[in-house]
């Protein structure tokens, strides 16, 4: 079955490492398991070998079967045969406004915290759909505003300062203002998550990447929501293949508080907590930066007598950081309703991590594209589905476990998307947002009145069917940012001084934003 998957991967995708790693995992189920058990973070005693030899073989086989089924569902040729889709939807009518009017949800929002997400998902409540997309667009903006240009001395920073970030990215009317940017160290144990300038000498930072932002709802949005909403949006990685390889499958204790039981993936924790006195932007870790600002904002608005909530969002790696962030916020800030809305996020921690998050009252909604492989990592085989083998595996604190409510959307539900295997396309956040926009329930077809601009899907991939005539990966700068100067030469203009990263952004407490 895996060979089918390999054969249908388009040649232009850098997907060989993934397939290799899957194959490797298949061949090394036992050694992988042993590796995980012998790691220094393990607590449970391994079951006696002679007692479980046959059972272990059975486990290994079952795991393989699981993987088989799993890939059947996503990549076999029958699964990808184009279903008979009712194409009555107008294909991206260019004169349908994309914005739905936003209703007052001040009474509805509490449902999330009183009755959990699950009750709102079948069918998906329209107001919640709009909120999910709103937060997803906060996460998408962390990509759209990021400087990926390795020839730029500002590579790895945000292209715009926080005051005009939303406006520049077409989100000027979203009712939020950014109060702080977040930076994380790029010299961490996930070697390829970062972007780094080739101009080491001149670079704005040798050590850090811009990792997202903290924003607060303005008075209008606050009224609509029934509370002052603090948002943290975490940037992820664009190319999932890169850190598929880099994830170390190493669980380690999240902190000293939990007695070592609560464990999370080493790489994610490292990005979240690393700092160094010798850096400019990471004298404080990402964790410290974000927690300082959230605490400041919570205090400020609570002192004004307002209801305050925290919503943390992120895609891919950003979704993992969102969970770590939520855990820390829940542990340190009392009486703060905390939600996580993540997209295509991998597993982060073990069962104890999940249980503790639930216990702390963090409400998590994980949006997952059924065909996306990233949410299946780490722990492609060593995950919560092993529960049925507990008898032989013993305590499962060494397996990765997903957290919260899952909202599973399916590429095949959309009449606008190609059916071919597309590793990047399945993982792309814009694909996620498109599928959320069309989602009613897992039994329903794509929502007829979905209005979000379909063309956005192809911003950074080629998932849209050709009939739509939207170019692949169209989100690009004119002439890659070069302009012809007065002397007739093509040059990269220096960045507007107001958009040059500055230590002010990170080390000084900002003035409270104008929230009118």
Which active-site residues does the annotation give? 316, 372, 427
Neighbours of 359 (CB within 10 A): 9
We find the least distance from the C-beta atom of residue 503 to a copy of itself, in angstroms, to be: 25
**Binds a copy of itself (CB under 8 A): choice among 83, 191, 471, 512:** 471
Are residues 516 and 177 in contact, defined by beta-carbon separation less than 8 angstroms? no
Dist. CA 142–CA 233, nearest whole Å: 7
Q: How far is the CB of 149 from a copy of itself (least distance, A)?
A: 7
Smallest separation, CB 205 to a copy of itself (Å): 18
- x/- mask, a copy of itself, residues 164-203, rule CB under 8 A, reads ------x---------------------------xx----
Instruction: Tell me: does residue 101 bind a copy of itself (CB under 8 A).
Output: no
Q: Does 485 bind a copy of itself (CB under 8 A)?
A: yes
Residue in 40, 48, 84, 95 binding a copy of itself, rule: CB under 8 A: 95
Q: Does 500 contact a copy of itself by CB under 8 A?
A: no
Smaller CB distance to a copy of itself: residue 477 or 514? 477
Burial label, 93 (beta-carbon count in 10 A; 0-12, 13-18, 19+): exposed
- Residue 494 is a binding residue for a copy of itself (CB under 8 A): no
Instruction: Please state whether 379 falls in left (phi above 0), alpha (psi between -120 and 50) or beta.
Output: left
**Which pair of tokens denotes residue 130?**
């709009």
Buried b (16+ CB within 10 A) or exposed e, 46-82: ebeeeebeeebeebbebbbeebeebbeebbbeebbee
Q: Is 68 in the site for a copy of itself (CB under 8 A)?
A: no
Alpha helices (H) along 465-515: 504-507
Q: Which of 479, 496, 503, 507 binds a copy of itself (CB under 8 A)?
A: 479
- Helix H, strand E, coil C: the string for 364-383 is EEEEEECCCCHHHCCCCCCE
Q: Which member of 81, 482, 503, 509 binds a copy of itself (CB under 8 A)?
A: 482
Q: How far is CA 385 from CA 6, 350, 378, 388, 390, in A?
A: 25, 12, 13, 7, 10
Given the complex with a copy of itself, which of 31 and 148 has the nearer CB atom? 148
CB of 433 to a copy of itself, least distance (A): 14
CA distances from 29 to 62, 129, 192, 380 (A): 11, 39, 25, 11
Residue 94 in contact with a copy of itself, rule: CB under 8 A: yes
- Minimum CB–partner distance for residue 490 and a copy of itself (Å): 4
Do 411 and 421 touch, CB atoms closer than 8 A? no
What single DSSP character describes residue 496? P
CB of 492 to a copy of itself, least distance (A): 7
CA dist., res. 39 & res. 118, Å (int): 35
Q: Kindly tell me which of 91 and 284 has the beta carbon lying closer to a copy of itself.
A: 91
- Length of the chain, in residues: 516
Strand partners, 310: 230, 338
Binding range to a copy of itself, per CB under 8 A, among 273-281, 340-348, 358-366, 487-495: 487-495
Among 115, 126, 151, 306, binds a copy of itself (CB under 8 A): 151
Closer to a copy of itself at the Cβ: 219 or 473?
A: 473
Q: Which two tokens stand for residue 225?
A: 């929501």
Give the interface size with a copy of itself as a residue count (CB under 8 A): 36
Question: 126 with 438: CB under 8 angstroms?
Answer: no
Sign, CA torsion 457/407/262/323: positive
Task: Report in angstroms how near the CB of residue 269 gets to a copy of itself at its nearest.
Answer: 35
Binding mask 298-337 for a copy of itself (x = CB under 8 A): ----------------------------------------
* Interaction of residue 92 with a copy of itself, rule CB under 8 A: yes
State the residues that interact with a copy of itself by CB under 8 A: 92, 94-99, 149, 151, 170, 198-199, 453, 455-456, 466, 469-471, 474-482, 484-485, 487-492
């Amino acid at each position: 079955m895996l060979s089918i998957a390999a054969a249908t991967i388009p040649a232009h995708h850098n997907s060989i490492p993934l397939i290799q790693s899957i194959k490797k995992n298949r061949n090394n189920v036992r050694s992988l398991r042993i590796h995980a058990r012998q790691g220094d973070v393990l607590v449970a005693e391994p079951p006696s070998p002679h007692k479980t030899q046959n059972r272990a073989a059975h486990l290994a086989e079952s795991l393989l079967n699981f993987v088989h089924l799993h890939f059947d569902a996503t990549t076999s040729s029958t699964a990808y045969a184009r279903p008979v889709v009712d194409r009555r939807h107008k294909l991206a009518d260019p004169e349908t406004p994309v914005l739905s009017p936003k209703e007052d949800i001040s009474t509805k929002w509490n449902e999330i915290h009183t009755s959990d997400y699950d009750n709102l998902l079948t069918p998906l409540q329209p107001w919640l759909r709009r909120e999910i997309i709103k937060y997803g667009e906060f996460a998408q903006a962390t990509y759209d505003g990021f400087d990926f240009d390795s020839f730029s001395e500002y590579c790895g920073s945000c292209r715009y300062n926080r005051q005009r970030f939303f406006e520049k990215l077409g989100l000027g009317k979203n009712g939020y203002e950014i109060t702080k940017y977040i930076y994380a160290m790029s010299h961490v144990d996930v070697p390829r998550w970062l972007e780094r300038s080739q101009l080491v000498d001149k670079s704005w930072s040798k050590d850090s990447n811009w990792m997202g932002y903290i924003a607060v709802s303005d008075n209008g949005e606050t009224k609509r929501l029934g509370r002052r909403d603090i948002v943290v949006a975490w940037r992820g990685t664009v190319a999932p293949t890169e850190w598929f390889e880099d994830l170390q499958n190493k669980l380690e204790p999240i902190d000293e508080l939990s007695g070592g039981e609560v464990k999370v993936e080493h790489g994610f924790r490292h990005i979240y907590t690393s700092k160094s006195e010798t850096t400019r932007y990471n004298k404080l870790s990402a964790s410290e930066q974000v927690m300082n600002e959230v605490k400041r904002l919570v205090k400020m608005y609570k002192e004004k007598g307002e209801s305050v909530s925290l919503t943390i969002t992120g895609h891919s790696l950003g979704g993992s950081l969102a969970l770590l962030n939520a855990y820390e916020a829940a542990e340190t800030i009392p009486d703060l309703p905390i939600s996580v809305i993540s997209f295509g996020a991998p597993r982060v921690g073990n069962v104890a991590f999940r249980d503790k998050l639930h216990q702390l009252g963090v409400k998590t909604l994980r949006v997952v594209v059924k065909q996306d492989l990233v949410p299946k990592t780490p722990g492609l085989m060593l995950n919560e589905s092993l529960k049925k083998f507990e008898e032989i595996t013993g305590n499962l604190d060494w397996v990765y476990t997903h957290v919260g409510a899952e909202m599973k959307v399916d590429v095949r539900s959309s009449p606008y998307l190609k059916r071919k295997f597309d590793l990047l396309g399945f993982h792309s956040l814009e694909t996620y947002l498109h599928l959320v926009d069309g989602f009613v329930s897992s039994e329903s077809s794509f929502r007829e009145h979905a209005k979000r601009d379909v063309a956005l899907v192809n911003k950074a991939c080629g998932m849209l069917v050709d009939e739509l005539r939207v170019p692949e990966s169209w989100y690009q700068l004119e002439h890659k940012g070069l302009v012809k100067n007065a002397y007739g030469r093509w040059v990269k203009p220096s960045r507007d001084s107001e958009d040059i990263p500055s230590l002010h952004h990170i080390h000084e407490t900002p003035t409270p934003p104008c929230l009118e």
